[in-house]
Amino acid sequence: MPEQPTTPPTSPCTPAETTPPAGGAAPAPKAHEYAHERDWPGYYRAVAGKGARETLLKALELFERDAPSDLPRFAIDLGCGSGRDTFELLRRGWRVLAVDASELGLSLLKKEVPSEHADRLETMLSGYEDFTPRRATFINASYALPFCEPSRFDEVWARIAAAIPPGGRFAGQFFGERDDWAALPDRAHHTRPQVERLLAEFTIDRLQEVENREAGATGIVKNWHVFHVVAKKRPGGSS
């Protein structure tokens, strides 16, 4: 799912300059430009070789610090794509169900998974709207849930929250209402109060709201508004 920049371009109000490659060829689109069009083959090419996302790494750090030794290490990587987060989970000894609606993404993941981890990996071809997660200590959804059909987002989230037991965690992103993609009818966006309500059954480990800008290959600037979340299910919540 889309890559968000850590720093904005120099001029936030005008298209940023881009340096054309040698020979005058047009620069390759950036990952978010492919994601805008749901061009997942292009997106996978753009993010090939990138490491696990920070919210996943933070959640794993917290599990290693405070989780009981007998807590089942089973995770669902929802919207796994070509596997950048799945690989990190496997490397750290978790069993993983990797779920995505892209056959290509799952094919790339399975092709690259190290043989020593293959017996702990299960894959499933499914969209978010049709997926009912089984009980999982950790559900990771990096830049995934905003691509859920907006009219069905609440039911998708309810199933996710119900599948996480007390002491388990969710990590992922929600897109805010000031993100440029909020104008697209097939993206789900939320205000901060709405995000906080979604997390009502969780203790929030991290809720970082970020707004910045990123220039695409043509210099057109995209405004990002993203909530980065790591949250732990509280005792007494649904499960």
Q: Please, what is the average pLDDT of the chain?
A: 90
pTM score of the predicted model: 0.89
Alpha helices, DSSP H, located in the chain: 31-36, 40-47, 54-66, 84-91, 103-112, 153-163, 192-198
So what's the pLDDT on residue 238? 63
So what's the pLDDT on residue 193? 98
Handedness of CA 114, 117, 118, 123 (dihedral sign): negative
Cα distance between residue 88 and residue 119, in whole Å: 15
Q: Are 150 and 128 in contact (CB under 8 A)?
A: no
In order of their start, the domains of the chain are 52-66+74-233 (3.40.50.150)
Q: Average pLDDT of 44-54? A: 95
* DSSP classification of residue 179: S
Concatenated DSSP letters for 221-236?
A: EEEEEEEEEEEEEPTT
Q: Are 77 and 98 in contact (CB under 8 A)?
A: yes
So what's the pLDDT on residue 5? 47
Cα distance between residue 56 and residue 62, in whole Å: 10
Give 178-198 pLDDT, tens digit per residue. Answer: 999 999 999 999 999 999 999
Cα distance between residue 169 and residue 100, in whole Å: 20
The string over 56-73, giving b where at least 16 C-beta atoms fall within 10 Å of a residue's C-beta and e elsewhere, is bbbbbebbeeebeeeeee
Give 60-114 pLDDT, tens digit per residue. Answer: 999 999 988 888 999 999 999 999 999 999 999 999 999 999 999 999 999 999 9
Cα distance between residue 182 and residue 46, in whole Å: 23
Cα distance between residue 80 and residue 152, in whole Å: 20
Q: Average pLDDT of 28-41? A: 94
So what's the pLDDT on residue 26? 75
So what's the pLDDT on residue 13? 29
